[in-house]
Amino acid sequence: MSEARIFKNAYLIDGVSNTPCENACIIVTGSEIVYHGKPDDRIFKKYSDAALFDLQGMTLMPGLIDTHVHLSLHGSPDYFNQMIMESPTLA
């Protein structure tokens, strides 16, 4: 079995196009996206032994990462406790 994975029937938001792509296909090998777009029989033949996932119209946003960051906080585990203890309304 190949390490490739095919995600088909996706509602693709690629972060580049102005409009989402319905019934899209995404092929991933390892951690790299090697194809995205409309289904293509030629590409399916190339990855015929890939694991196949039918997303049934679910939204897929490749490359999305957690961008919820508070740049003013340094992120140590003690910082939250310190912030609570120094707050007159929370302590």
pLDDT at 16: 83
pLDDT at 1: 46
Amino acid at 9: N
Q: What are phi and psi of 57, to 5 degrees?
A: 85, 0
Global pTM reads: 0.66
Average pLDDT, the chain: 83
